[in-house]
Structure 1
Amino acid sequence: MPCRCEQPGYSHIIAGIFDQCMTETKEIVSFVFGWLSILSWVVALYPQIRLNFLLRKAEALSPFFLLCWFLGDIFNATSCLVLDQLFVQKFLGIFWLSTDTILNISHFYFVCTKKKYTSAATHFRVLEIFVYVVIAGLVINNVVWAGFYYDSELSFNEAAYDICKKEAVIPKNTARYWIGTILAYATIPMFCFSRPTQIYKNWKRKSTEGLSTGLFIATSSGNINQLISMFVNSQKQKYLIEKIPYIIAAAIPAICDIIVLVQIKIYKKAGGYEPIREENDLHTDNNQLESQ
């Protein structure tokens, strides 16, 4: 349901789709980069989940990496609920926790079952690409259509809509505020400490076989866009000092994500990938040896 803002010159599209009031250009640009960050995080875990199911193995990921990430999203989702943040923030917190759960289940299932043979068919098939394109097209089409519709509605019939609701303000002298804030800050070390363990495991294995490039492209994109969003929003010293924990929480993982991407490139070029072979190919080799 769209809403209207009390401030003049606000963005009808943002108010209509996202129920938020944005007036200044820098606010809107910051908002766009913020959502680019969110979209990157929405799809981030899917490439690794897909790869795990195709390979039937999950040894490439560090268990400590998964644990820290999972705890970080538990803290994040809980803090959103405790602090009664906007619906979108609550939904995303629960969504990310759900995808974490799927990734963790697939990881420990395949580690425990230890399938002997794996599939080499990890490339994207035409039908699969077609499905992704259709889904992306539908999402973009709906957002564009909704944007034009709400812009028109709020331009010609603004009085028919309610004032946009503001994010709930929890009094700072309450236990609820402090519990929610502590949980929010607890996510920072979880996300920062998760990456070095993955970097160390890659270095120790001298291989990144089974590690999805798409996962770290998406996470680095999410962190970089989040940094851009914060710096575009304001360059005032007071604002930046207040945002230092969040800047650290985005900058350190972004740097580590780029290091992992460099490792993937180096180890792939150096032959760090062991060829993954079909079960039928292995049987063929065995028969050839027996015949000799």
Structure 2
Amino acid sequence: MIGSSDGLSSIFGWISIACWIVVYSPQVYENYALQSGEGLSVLFVLVWLVGDLCNLLGAVIAGLLPTIIILACYYSLCDSTLLCQIYYYRWKHGHPLFKAKPMEGGETAPLLPSGEQEDHKLLSTKALVIRYTSALLFVCIVGTTAWWIAGKEEEKTPRPDIPSGDWWKSQVLGWTSAVLFIGSRVPQIMKNVTTRCEGLSPALFFFAVCGNITCTLSIVAKSSDWGYLLTNASWIAGSSLIVFLDIFVSG
């Protein structure tokens, strides 16, 4: 008989995946609408990408939950998409990096004229609450449905024992990715001081927070065994700390 903890862990894992499927879309669209990726710090995205690659490799070596491995693959793909957008729009607008006409004010210049900046913020608090609540309910429903369709077979699959050599490799990669994820927020925070979050989608960090919370819950709901928690410690610590940083980064 499948334990309730396994089912709960799988549900949280699939909800986390749903959050991360949604999370990048608002920022990708924001970049498209503004025809600019300058709201994001290049260093933030680059460090995030390296962290995701370390996370992916460590998760595979450690034989972690399939949902965590799927997430790591998706993160890496989306990081690459954001990075491509930044450099594509720089090339398109003749950024000095490509030895063409420089953009006035550089990376810290406002992305929109003052009048358009105000128009860009016209959404009322009520509308934002309704939008985010609806989106959150959507990802919860999608995640639960995904678990119902595919999760039961996943729960029946036993987790293999990890050779001691691979265990240490996974821990080094896991903690490296956690440090990179946390450190990646620093350049974005510094950039926000000058740009005041212009061109940055709040939804990116809203769903990042939701994704990290549910990802952590999917791990701790699986088992309270100390060996299991120790193996997953870097993923738990990294996700938990990033939640607080992302709330700060989003302004």
Common fold: TM-score over 0.5: yes
Match of 2:128 in 1: none
Residue identity in the other structure for 1:182:
V
Indicate if the aligned counterparts of 1:57 and 1:118 stay in contact, CA closer than 8 A: no
| Residue 155 of structure 2 corresponds to residue 166 of structure 1 | no
CA–CA separation in structure 2 for the residues paired with 1:149 and 1:226: 17
Going from structure 1 to structure 2, the CA distance change for 1:246 and 1:87 (only over 3 Å counts) comes to: closer
CA distance in 2, matches of 1:47, 1:165: 35
Distance, in Å, in 2 between the alignment partners of 1:97 and 1:140 is 22
1:246 maps to what in 2?
235
Aligned amino acid, residue 220 of structure 1: V
| CA deviation after TM superposition for structure 1 residue 113, in Å | 3.1
| Equivalent residue number for residue 28 of structure 1 | 7
CA distance in structure 1 between the aligned counterparts of 2:27 and 2:20, rounded to whole angstroms: 13
**Counterpart among 100, 105, 109 of residue 79 in structure 2:** 100
Residue 220 of structure 1 aligns with which residue? 209
Aligned residue type for 1:190: L
2:127 counterpart residue number: none
Residue 208 (structure 1) aligns with: 197
TM-score by length of 2: 0.68
Q: Cα gap change, 1:90/1:246 in structure 2, threshold over 3 Å: closer, same or farther?
A: closer
> 8 Å contact 2:15–2:143 — kept in the other structure?
no
Contact 1:58 1:210 in 2 (8 A): yes
1:49 maps to which residue?
Answer: 28
Per chain length, whose mean CA-contact separation is higher, i.e. which structure has more relative contact order (CA < 8 Å, sep 6+)?
Answer: 2
Partner Cα distance (1:52, 1:35) in 2: 27
CA distance in 2, matches of 1:27, 1:71: 30
Instruction: Provide the alpha-carbon RMSD of the alignment.
Output: 4.0
Per the normalisation by structure 1, the TM-score is 0.60
AA in 1 matched with 2:45:
L
The 8 Å contact of residues 68 and 215 in structure 2, kept in 1 or not, is answered as no
**1:68 matched to which residue of 2?**
47
Are 2:169 and 1:179 aligned? yes
- 1:214 positional shift: 1.0
- Kindly, what percent of the aligned residue pairs are identical? 25
Aligned length: 218
Aligned-partner residue type, residue 12 of structure 2: F
Alpha-carbon distance in structure 2 between the residues aligned to 1:57 and 1:255: 27
**2:54 alignment partner AA:** F
Is the CA contact (8 Å cut-off) linking 2:11 and 2:144 kept in structure 1? no
- Change in Cα spacing, 1:94 to 1:224, as seen in structure 2 (3 Å) is closer
Q: Distance in 2 between matches of 1:92 and 1:84?
A: 14
The 1-side partners of 2:170 and 2:232 are apart by 17
In the TM superposition, residue 96 of structure 1 has moved relative to its aligned partner by 2.1
Which residue does the alignment assign to 1:259? 248
How far apart in 1 are the matches of 2:182 and 2:20?
A: 16
SS state at 1:211 partner: coil
Q: Which residue of 1 aligns with 2:185?
A: 195
What's the CA shift for 1:38?
Answer: 2.4
Q: Secondary structure at 2:88's aligned position in 1?
A: helix
Which protein is richer in helix relative to its size?
2
Query: Deviation at 1:81?
Result: 4.2
How many Å apart are 1:142 and its aligned residue? 11
SS in structure 1 at match of 2:197:
coil
- Tell me the SS of whatever aligns to 2:199: coil
Contact 1:72-1:188 at 8 Å conserved across structures: yes
Measure the CA separation in 2 of the matches of 1:150 and 1:32: 8
SS of corresponding position for 2:27? helix
Contact 2:174 2:234 in 1 (8 A): no
